[in-house]
Chain A
C-alpha cells in the first residue's frame, strides 16, 4: 500500500517507527530533517500525490491538544481536539484537508505518549467541568488504525478518565479497537453520513453508506454509543427524499438508544480554500451547486442550510420516540447558531 516512507531523523529509532518499517519491508525509506521539509513545501501537487501517498513519520513537539475551531464541539462542554495524523486515505470531494495542505502524504506523529500526557493534563485542568476531546479533525480517526494503532493506544486513557468524553469521527469500518476493548460509556464513535446516491459521487474510496451502517450496527450491538454526523449537508434535486431515505435506513438498523448525539454540518469553505479545491477539480458537479461567496466564505445560502437542518431534525423527531441530543451547529463567520 505505502511504497515510500519519509522518516524524521529524530524518530528513526522510535519503537513505533521500527514496527511500521517492519510492516512495510519493501517500502523505500528516506530520512528527512523535519517533516515540514517534505510536507509543507508549496511546490507540490495534492491531487497527484493522492494517487500514491507516501507516509511521513514524525515527532510532534507542541500543540498536542488544541481548542476546537468555531462551529465544532458540544455546546455544554469545553471542547478540544488532537491530531495524531494529518491527511486521510479517503478522498472525499468536499474534504477541507485538500484545501488546507499542499501535500496529500500522510503524516503520522509517533510520540503518542506526549498526546496522552497532554490530554490528561487538560482533563486535570478542567476538573469538575465537562470536557470533550475530538479526534478526526485532520484525518479520519480509524481509517489507518491497522497501521497506527492509535485508537487502541488512547482508549485506555479514557477508561481511566470516565468523566472526559472522547469522540472518534470516522467513515471507517475498521472496528478492531472497539471490538477488543471494553465498552466505554464516555466514548462516541461518530459516523459522517450523507445519502447513498450523493456518497457514491463524493465519498471517494470510503466504505459505502451501507457498510458504515453495518459497522454502526455491530458497534451498537456491543454497547458502544454512536454519533450521527450529517456533515456536510449536501443539496440537490430531491434532497428531502434522499435525506429521509438515509434517516429511515439508519433507524431501521440502529436502535435509537445507542445514539449519543446527532449533528448537522454545513458545506463551507473559506474563499481561498474553495478556489484551490475548485481549481483542482473544475469538473466536479458539487462546485456547480447553488454556492454563494459572502464574508470570505463559500457556502449554500443560509435559507438552504436552515431548511435542510430543520427538515432532517423534523424527520428524526418523527422517526424515533425518545429525545435525542442535537448538537449545535454554528456559523463560524457570525458565531450564531445555524439551527432556526
Chain B
C-alpha cells in the first residue's frame, strides 16, 4: 500500500484548481460529496460543503470509499477571513481554536517549511466582525479532530488563503475569485503536500505483511491468534534471513505448529553480524 493524499475542500470553486492541477477525475455519482481521484490513486479529493458537520461526514465518506489506511496525508485547504490585510496570502495553520468550545487542535509540525504560519479560529456561523482574530474559517477544527484519529495529527495539514479582510469585503467574493486565490498558491500547496507524502511513505513498512506471509497462511491452517504470532515471527525472520526463500525452508513442515516452532528456533539461534 502506498501513501496518498486526501484533500477535503468545502467549495467547488476551491476544488476546481486542485482538480485541474492534479489531473483528478470524478469517480462516483454521489451528489452530496463528489469524489475525485487521479489514475494512480495518489490524490483523492472530496467536496464537503461548508461547516464542521459536513466536513466530518465527508471525511468519513472518503475514508470508507478509498479504504484509508494510516499513511494518508489529510489536507483541508480553503479560503479564510482575516483581520489583517493579507489578501491572497497562503498560511499553514498550526493551531486551531473551536470558537464554540475553546478547544484547541494542533496539526503536526514535522515538516520544515518556509510557508507563513498562523493560528485559526473555526466558527459555526459566519462571523460578521472578525477584527480580533488572525484567520477564521468554518471547517478546520473538526477536520483536524477526525483526521488525527485516522492518520495521526502529524499527517494532517490545514492551509488557508486569505479571501476577505478589512479591505476586501466578503460580499465581493465570487466563485471565480475563490478559484483564482487557490490557483495563485497551488504550486506552493502541492509542493508542501508532496513533501509530506514522502515522509508518510516511511510509515508504509509498518503496514506491510512480511514477504511470503500470504503464501504461508494459504498453505497451512493458522488460527487467528497463530496468524498474529506468525506475522510477528515472520517480520523478524525475513530481516534476519533476507536472501532465503521462506517457502522453500518451510515446505517440509506438516502443520502450523511446526511452522511456528521452526521460525522461533531459527530466531533463537540467530546471531546478528554487526560488522
| Of B17-25, B125-133, B252-260, B262-270, the one touching chain A | B262-270
B113 to chain A, nearest CB (A): 8
Instruction: Name the contact of A44 in the complex, choosing from B94, B152, B203 (C-beta under 8 A).
Output: B152
A324 to chain B, nearest CB (A): 26
> Which residues of B (183-202) have their CB < 8 Å from a CB of A?
199-200, 202
Chain B CB within 10 Å — which of A48, A289, A291 has the most? A48
Q: A288, B272: Cβ atoms under 8 Å? A: yes
Nearest A residue to B233 via CB reads A288
Chain A CB within 10 Å — which of B154, B206, B268 has the most? B154
Nearest B residue to A201 via CB reads B274
> Which residues of B (208-267) have their CB < 8 Å from a CB of A?
208, 210, 232, 235-237, 239-240, 267
CA distance A280 to B200 in the complex (A): 13
Q: A290, B267: Cβ atoms under 8 Å? A: yes
Contacts of A236 in B (CB 8 A): 271-274
Q: Is B12 at the interface (CB under 8 A from chain A)?
A: no
Contacts of B270 in A (CB 8 A): 288-290
B208 to chain A, nearest CB (A): 8
Q: Is B109 at the interface (CB under 8 A from chain A)?
A: yes
Q: A52, B111: Cβ atoms under 8 Å? A: yes
| Interface residue count on the B side (C-beta < 8 Å) | 40
Q: B206, A279: Cβ atoms under 8 Å? A: yes
Q: Is B34 at the interface (CB under 8 A from chain A)?
A: no
Nearest A residue to B116 via CB reads A28
> Which residues of B (145-178) have their CB < 8 Å from a CB of A?
148-149, 152-155
Q: Is A235 at the interface (CB under 8 A from chain B)?
A: yes
Q: B109, A52: Cβ atoms under 8 Å? A: yes
Q: A45, B239: Cβ atoms under 8 Å? A: no
Q: B110, A48: Cβ atoms under 8 Å? A: yes
Contacts of A283 in B (CB 8 A): 205, 239
Nearest A residue to B269 via CB reads A290
Q: B199, A51: Cβ atoms under 8 Å? A: yes
Q: A197, B275: Cβ atoms under 8 Å? A: yes
Q: Is A65 at the interface (CB under 8 A from chain B)?
A: no
Q: B274, A30: Cβ atoms under 8 Å? A: no
Knowing A30-B94, A237-B273 are in contact, say whether A44-B108 is a contact too (CB < 8 A). Answer: yes
**Which A residues form the contact surface with B (CB < 8 A)?**
3-4, 6, 28, 30-33, 37-38, 41, 43-45, 47-49, 51-52, 54, 195, 197-198, 200-201, 234-239, 242, 278-280, 282-292, 301
A-B contact pairs, 12 of them (CB 8 A): A3-B109, A32-B104, A45-B110, A48-B155, A52-B111, A52-B112, A198-B274, A239-B271, A282-B239, A283-B239, A287-B236, A289-B271
**Which B residues form the contact surface with A (CB < 8 A)?**
94-95, 104, 106, 108-112, 117, 119, 148-149, 152-155, 199-200, 202-203, 205-206, 208, 210, 232, 235-237, 239-240, 267-275
